[in-house]
Amino acid sequence: MGVTRADLGLSQGALARAAGVDTRQIRRYEAGEQQPLLSVAIAIADALGISVTELAGRSPSGVTVTGDWWASWQTSRDGVEKIATQPVHMRQEGEIVHIAATEHGLSAEEGGYLWTGECRLWDNQVLTGWYAANEGTVRSKGTMYLFMKHAHGIHMIGRWVGLGYDDQVMTGWATMGKTRDDSEQAMTELIAERGTTP
């Protein structure tokens, strides 16, 4: 296996429960005594948050963004600019990247919400795609464009365009980094370099 349950801190029993198989089967798979059926391999890969290709030990060529990241978004509410920073989880399957916010970046009163999205990775450098709120009556949805920079570890800068809480089309800068500080620093540098109004 590429990414293992041990890499993620899962016991054999926890992985077995998540994948819907017996713990003895997980032992056999890890010992190389048996290969899982495709349906079981998909369940194990889903439980590990990786693709079946990665489960088989084949790394996708180029950049891999699977894992936990931090996203920062420049937004405004009632004319007041805000920077929302929130943790997100990304799961890459080839050129497709599934993204899900795991915590709010702002309170609901300030316009914060949880969302999911999907992007395509172009040339190992550009992510383009969509996002949509996935809680309650929040209707926000839109598009994302992020450019990957590799200067000091991977971080991304770009822009979002979407429908705001008041049914107005809005836009702002967007950044992602492997740590909260990386994402917020990239946002600070982006605003200093390009200005507050995108």
pLDDT-based confidence at 45, cuts 50/70/90?
Answer: confident
**Whole-number pLDDT of residue 198:** 56
User: Residue 135 belongs to a domain with what CATH number?
Assistant: 2.40.128.120
CB 91 within 8 A of CB 55: no
Q: In this structure, are 73 and 124 located in the same domain?
A: yes
Q: In this structure, are 49 and 88 located in the same domain?
A: no
Q: Answer yes or no: is pLDDT of 173 > 90.
A: yes
Q: In this structure, are 41 and 105 located in the same domain?
A: no
Give whole-number Cα distances, 47 to 3, 103, 183, in Å: 11, 20, 27
- Residue 131 gets the label, from left (phi > 0), alpha (psi -120 to 50) or beta, of beta
Q: In this structure, are 144 and 76 located in the same domain?
A: yes
Lowest mean pLDDT among 4-8, 58-62, 143-147, 183-187: 58-62
The single residue listed with the structure tokens 């990786």 is 50
Q: Domain of 105? A: 67-194
- 62 backbone dihedrals φ, ψ, rounded to 5°: 85, -150
Q: Which residue has the higher pLDDT, 198 or 170?
A: 170
* CB environment 25-58: b (16+ within 10 A), e (fewer): bbeebeeeeeebeeebbebbbebbbbbeebbeee
Q: Mapping DSSP to helix (H, G, I), strand (E, B) and coil, where does residue 54 land?
A: helix
**Whole-number pLDDT of residue 1:** 41
Other CB atoms closer than 10 Å to residue 187's CB: what's the count? 25
pTM above 0.85, yes or no: no
Q: In this structure, are 116 and 178 located in the same domain?
A: yes
CB 97 within 8 A of CB 91: yes
Domain assignment present for 60: no
Q: In this structure, are 41 and 78 located in the same domain?
A: no
Domain assignment present for 141: yes
Q: CB-hemisphere CA count at 13 Å for 78? A: 3
Q: In this structure, are 43 and 74 located in the same domain?
A: no
Q: In this structure, are 137 and 48 located in the same domain?
A: no
Q: Mapping DSSP to helix (H, G, I), strand (E, B) and coil, where does residue 149 land?
A: strand
Total count of domains within the chain: 2
Q: In this structure, are 180 and 84 located in the same domain?
A: yes
Domain assignment present for 104: yes
Domain assignment present for 1: no
Q: In this structure, are 94 and 185 located in the same domain?
A: yes
Domain assignment present for 106: yes
**Whole-number pLDDT of residue 176:** 95
Per-residue pLDDT reduced to its tens digit, 53-102: 777 766 555 678 889 999 999 987 777 888 999 999 999 888 899 999 99
Domain assignment present for 3: no
Q: In this structure, are 118 and 83 located in the same domain?
A: yes
What's the length of the chain?
198
Per-residue pLDDT reduced to its tens digit, 103-158: 888 877 777 789 999 999 988 889 999 999 988 788 889 999 999 886 545 789 99
% the chain with pLDDT above 70: 91
Amino acid identity, position 146: L
Q: Answer yes or no: is pLDDT of 2 > 60.
A: no
Q: In this structure, are 102 and 186 located in the same domain?
A: yes
* CB environment 143-156: b (16+ within 10 A), e (fewer): ebbbebeeeeebbb
Domain assignment present for 143: yes
